[in-house]
Amino acid sequence: MIILGLNAYHGDSSSCIVRDGTILAAVEEERFKRVKHWAGFPAQSIEYCLQAAGITLDDVDHVAVNSDPRAHFLKKAYFTFARRPDVALILDRLKNQAKRQSIEQELATAFPRQTFKGAVHRVEHHMAHLASAFLVSPFAEAVAVSVDGFGDFSSAAWGVGRGTAIDIEGRVFFPHSLGVFYQALTQFIGFPNYGDEYKVMGLAPYGQPIFVPQMRKIVRLLDGGKFELDTQYFRHHREKIDYAWSGGTPHVGTLFADALEDLLGPKRSPDAPLTQVHRDIARSTQAMYEEAFFHLVNHLHDKHQLDSLTLAGGCAMNSVANGKVLRQSPYKRLYVQSAAGDAGGAIGAAIHTWHQTGGKGGDRRPVALQGDRVPGRTIMEDAYLGPEATEVEIAALMSAREQDIREAGCRVKNLKDFAALSRRTAEAVAAGKVVGWFQGRMEWGPRALGNRSIIGDPRRGDMKDILNLKIKRRESFRPFAPSVLSEHVGDWFEESGDVPFMMQVYQIQQARRAAVPAVAHVDGSGRLQSVYRQTNPRYWQLIEDFRQITNVPMVLNTSFNENEPVVCRPAEALDCFLRTRMDVLVLGDTFIERIEVAEAVPARA
């Protein structure tokens, strides 16, 4: 049985392919369109997934989409009659629903020489989210929670997963939403772009939670772990907000109402300086989110007495809150998929449909994560599901761009012996050089996890400035992440455990922080990625070689990009290398080094 999973007509449009319960490929459309968070129908992603599986659309038995416009019809009708929102808002919602009904036509248009003869399954948005975490986790039984902005008229859903089934027992419906709360406050602080919430997380440790009393007026906690918004501070429930979801960069208009300025003071314009007030609002926003989040998950633990938790939805990208689960709640195990947001709904819809249609098989190399190993379940332990490049393709690129490479003052060496390649790369990192590392299959989800990464020396206090000067050109308050050998996590962090997808922020041991200033945030934390030899032997070996040179079992890891989606193909990696001041590029077995800057950055003693 072959199932094509889709997240369509929404930010982070994506697709995946599942054969007999095993995930063969998954990718976000932005990687091909080269537009961050691209929204629309993921035609190029579908094309890649079909090619990766060696099939055509004719071979697909089912298409599963992570949205069902028919879901919660009575709730929608009641809201419309009771609240009487602006007519433009109603018309806009109906227009969006009409688009989501046209999957068959979209497929026919995108693939005119192929014929889809199977069935289309529309999976309710939060069921797809819950499935995207629990049904690929290593847990036989767990509390399952989905929290985001909105999808199919609800913003949160929770229940219990057992075996291959999920029982949803509670929801929060429109207009109440922790995702909208966080996004509205992100806009208020002056970060207007879709997906800017991570900037608030990065800014928060620089502030104090002095606005929490005001935040508790915006978000109210209710019995049963639930929450609600005081809607006087928002616009989304009563008037049309500008949304752009089709064929480009997602855009969301202003979500907060004027009353928020009466409560917190004047909003910040994007070009205004950041003051301590903005840092304090960021810290208070994060604190309020965590208060509501733990109100929900702790209630669910009290109710079910289960020690495992799976998280999904856009709010599950809040790695700061995730990192506190094992410290501030009774749970002992946590799983968050690498694409926890809407992109991941493609996998959730497909895997849910697989089990609903009687699927029994499925496997994803159960070698690293600790869990119960449920028969018949795919266990997603790595995120390497995207396109890869052959050495023949890389060699052809080197030949075609030979003059550009020479004019950039670079030398090229092909090292077939990976041990030599890894050692040479580790020596470059230890010497303070910035290295682009392009290996194997591209990561699924927003995090660079060692196949499309820029790597630096975590021991250098100036490495953040070097990266921002040479490549990233981003806000100075945003941290860089440590990729750590899995067997050494407990030696350096206050918590240990499986964190393969960089979805948890843990505290670095206080005595260790001075040794790795480039990856220790202002509050002593680091957004951890535990690296396993079984799932990424090349990246593991690079870090091991760095450890042998420096006695530090980690490298600084940031995404291979420059204000664009993470690079997908070798040509994009080479272009990024040439237009920035990166020192080294490792493309498969090819080692490219700028000669004139090879000794420019002195090594740390």
**541: in domain:** yes
Flag whether pLDDT at 185 surpasses 80. Answer: yes
Query: Token pair of 583, please?
Result: 């020192």
Flag whether pLDDT at 600 surpasses 50. Answer: no
Q: Largest alpha-carbon pair distance within the chain?
A: 70
How many CA atoms does the CB half-sphere of 224 hold within 13 Å?
9
Q: Look at residue 95 in the predicted model and tell me its pLDDT.
A: 58
Overall average pLDDT of the 556-584 stretch: 96
Q: Look at residue 250 in the predicted model and tell me its pLDDT.
A: 87
Residue 350 has phi, psi (to 5 degrees) of -70, -45
Q: Which of 364, 314, 379, 3 is nearest to 150 (CA)?
A: 314
For the chain, how many structural domains are there in total? 2
Q: In this structure, are 14 and 99 located in the same domain? A: yes
Task: State whether residue 110 is helix, strand or coil.
Answer: helix
Flag whether pLDDT at 90 surpasses 70. Answer: no
Q: Give the Cα separation of 436 and 560 in Å (integer).
A: 7
Q: Give the Cα separation of 420 and 422 in Å (integer).
A: 6
Angle (CA) 403-406-408 rounded to 5° is 110
**219: in domain:** no
More confident of the two residues 181 and 367: 181
Flag whether pLDDT at 366 surpasses 50. Answer: no
Q: Helices (H) and strands (E) in the chain — how many of each?
A: 21, 23
Q: Give the Cα separation of 84 and 482 in Å (integer).
A: 50
β-bridge mates for residue 170, sequence order? 158
Q: In this structure, are 434 and 581 located in the same domain? A: yes
Overall average pLDDT of the 567-593 stretch: 97
Q: In this structure, are 573 and 443 located in the same domain? A: yes
Q: In this structure, are 450 and 351 located in the same domain? A: no
Q: In this structure, are 453 and 348 located in the same domain? A: no
Flag whether pLDDT at 564 surpasses 90. Answer: yes
β-bridge mates for residue 160, sequence order? 143, 167
Q: Give the Cα separation of 570 and 566 in Å (integer).
A: 12
Kindly report which listed range (87-101, 172-186, 245-259) carries the lowest average pLDDT score: 87-101
Q: Give the Cα separation of 92 and 546 in Å (integer).
A: 54
Q: In this structure, are 466 and 532 located in the same domain? A: yes
**Domain CATH for 561:** 3.90.870.20
Q: Give the Cα separation of 4 and 56 in Å (integer).
A: 11
Overall average pLDDT of the 100-126 stretch: 91
Pairing outcome for strands 243-244 and 251-252: antiparallel
Flag whether pLDDT at 604 surpasses 70. Answer: no
Overall average pLDDT of the 124-128 stretch: 98
Q: In this structure, are 41 and 119 located in the same domain? A: yes
Q: Look at residue 601 in the predicted model and tell me its pLDDT.
A: 43
More confident of the two residues 219 and 496: 219
Q: Look at residue 290 in the predicted model and tell me its pLDDT.
A: 98
Instruction: Please give the C-alpha separations between residue 387 and each of 17, 110, 152, in angstroms, as whole numbers.
Output: 13, 20, 31
Q: In this structure, are 413 and 507 located in the same domain? A: yes
**Using an 8 Å Cβ cutoff, are 309 and 142 in contact?**
yes
Phi-psi region of 180 (alpha: psi -120 to 50; beta: other; left: phi over 0): alpha
Flag whether pLDDT at 285 surpasses 80. Answer: yes
**Using an 8 Å Cβ cutoff, are 385 and 445 in contact?**
no
**98: in domain:** yes
> pLDDT digits over 438-485, tens only?
999 999 999 999 999 999 999 999 999 999 888 877 888 989 999 999
Q: In this structure, are 552 and 409 located in the same domain? A: yes
Q: Look at residue 97 in the predicted model and tell me its pLDDT.
A: 55
Q: In this structure, are 351 and 477 located in the same domain? A: no
Query: Token pair of 288, please?
Result: 């309020």
Phi-psi region of 40 (alpha: psi -120 to 50; beta: other; left: phi over 0): left
Return mean pLDDT, the chain: 92
Query: Token pair of 112, please?
Result: 């005119």
Q: In this structure, are 350 and 473 located in the same domain? A: no
Instruction: Please give the C-alpha separations between residue 44 and each of 59, 250, 318, 351, in angstroms, as whole numbers.
Output: 17, 18, 29, 21
456-482 b/e (C-beta count within 10 Å ≥ 16 → b): bbbbbeebbebbeebbbeeeebbbbbb
Structural domain range at position 427: 391-594
Q: In this structure, are 348 and 423 located in the same domain? A: no
Angle (CA) 444-534-332 rounded to 5° is 75
> pLDDT digits over 297-326, tens only?
999 999 999 999 999 999 999 999 999 999
**374: in domain:** no
**308: in domain:** no
β-bridge mates for residue 287, sequence order? none
**395: in domain:** yes
Flag whether pLDDT at 510 surpasses 60. Answer: yes
Element (H, E) at 593: strand 590-594
DSSP state of 176: -
Q: Look at residue 358 in the predicted model and tell me its pLDDT.
A: 85
pLDDT tier for residue 362 given thresholds of 50, 70 and 90: low
Overall average pLDDT of the 83-95 stretch: 57
**Domain CATH for 56:** 3.30.420.40
> pLDDT digits over 238-254, tens only?
887 877 766 788 889 99
Query: Token pair of 327, please?
Result: 């410290």
**195: in domain:** no
Q: Give the Cα separation of 106 and 99 in Å (integer).
A: 10
Flag whether pLDDT at 9 surpasses 90. Answer: no
Overall average pLDDT of the 139-163 stretch: 96
**Using an 8 Å Cβ cutoff, are 91 and 176 in contact?**
no
Q: Look at residue 94 in the predicted model and tell me its pLDDT.
A: 53
Angle between helices 276-304 and 178-188 (to 10 degrees): 170
**442: in domain:** yes
CB atoms within 10 A of CB 504: 26
Phi-psi region of 336 (alpha: psi -120 to 50; beta: other; left: phi over 0): beta
